[in-house]
Structure 1
C-alpha cells in the first residue's frame, strides 16, 4: 500500500481580490520529495492519474484547500484516497492543527516556516524555498505514520496548556 505526503504552494497575494493559481505540487515518498512546478507545466496527465489513483494514499494537511487549488489547474480532476491529518488530529482530541504545531508537539522538533510567503512563481526556486516545500510534504508523511501509531496503541496523553500567568505589576 503506497503512501505519499502531499502539499501545494501558491504565490501569496497581497491585494484584495487577487488570487494566483497553485504554483507548486510537492509529493514525498519515504525517502524522496518531488517538486512539480505547476505554473510552468500545468497539471499533466501523469500527475492527474497519480492524484486520482485510489490505491495510493495521499496524505496532507488542510487538503480541501489544496484540492480546490488543483481543480483550478485541471477542472476535470477527481482526486481519490486523500487523508487529511486534521481529521486524525481531531480524532485524537488535538485542537491546534497547524503543521508546524503538530510536528513540534509530536516530534519535539521545529520546522521552519520562513519561506511560506515567498514567490512560488519565481523563475527558479532558491534553496530555502526548495527545502521548505520538500519539508512540508515529508512532514505530512512522517506525522501520518506517527499519529496512526499513537492512535492505534493509545500511547499518548493530551496536556492542556497552562493558564496564562498574570503579568507582574510594574511600579
Structure 2
C-alpha cells in the first residue's frame, strides 16, 4: 500500500511537521523534543476530541536504538502517540524535561492506549523515564478475542492491519534497526514511526468499538 511523506520545512530547531499519507489518510505528524510543543499537541487533541474524552482511544508505540550486546539495553528514544489524523513523535532522549501534561495524559483513566506488546513498551517507559500508563489494551489480545483466532496473539502490527483493516503495510528492516537516538530523524523513520502509531490507533478503535467484520 502506497505510503508517502512530505516535510512542512518548519524554520525552527524546536520541532518539525510532516504529512504522512497512508492509503487514503493523511496524518499530520509533529516531531519534537520540546516540552511546550507536547503541551500544545495534547491540548489540540483534547480540544478536537472534546466530545469523546470519556472514551478516547490513543495509539501508542516506542522506538529505541537496537543493541547488539545482550547486556546493553538502550533507552527509549521516541514515544509515538496518535489520535485520529494527528500523530506526535516525542524525542524523549533529547528532551530537557518531560511535561506534566504528558504525565497526566498517559495517566488519564478515561483514555485507552492501544498497541502491539504495549505492556512491555510501557514497562520500558516506566524503567527509563518513570512514565506510566493507567489504561492499556494489547491489540493482539483484542484481535484474538474478537475473531476467535488465537494465533493472532502472536501477530505483529503488519498482520493485524491486514486482518482488521484489510490494509497492507511494509516495514523495512533497515528502518526498524536504525539509529532512533539521533537528533534529527530521517523522513523514512518519521514515516515508519507515524504509521505504526496510526495503525495502533485505527486497529484499537475498530476492535474496541466492536465494528469489525
Normalised by the length of structure 2, the TM-score is 0.66
**Partner SS, residue 68 of structure 1:** helix
2:105 counterpart residue number = 50
Shift of 1:88: 0.5
Structure 1 residue 80 corresponds to structure 2 residue 117: no
Task: With a CA cutoff of 8 Å and minimum separation of 6, indicate the structure with the bigger relative contact order.
Answer: 1
Structure 1 stretches lacking a partner, 5+ long: 157-171
Among 140, 162, 170, the residue aligned to 2:200: 140
Structure 2 stretches lacking a partner, 5+ long: 1-54
Structure 1 residue 127 corresponds to structure 2 residue 187: yes
Normalised by the length of structure 1, the TM-score is 0.80
Shift of 1:131: 0.6
Shift of 1:47: 1.4
Higher helix proportion (structure 1 or 2): 2
Write the deviation string for residues 16-52 of structure 1: whole angstroms up to 9, x where unpaired: 2111011100010101101000111154322111111
Shift of 1:123: 1.9
Number of residue equivalences: 152
1:35 counterpart residue number = 89
Structure 1 residue 112 corresponds to structure 2 residue 112: no
Shift of 1:101: 0.7
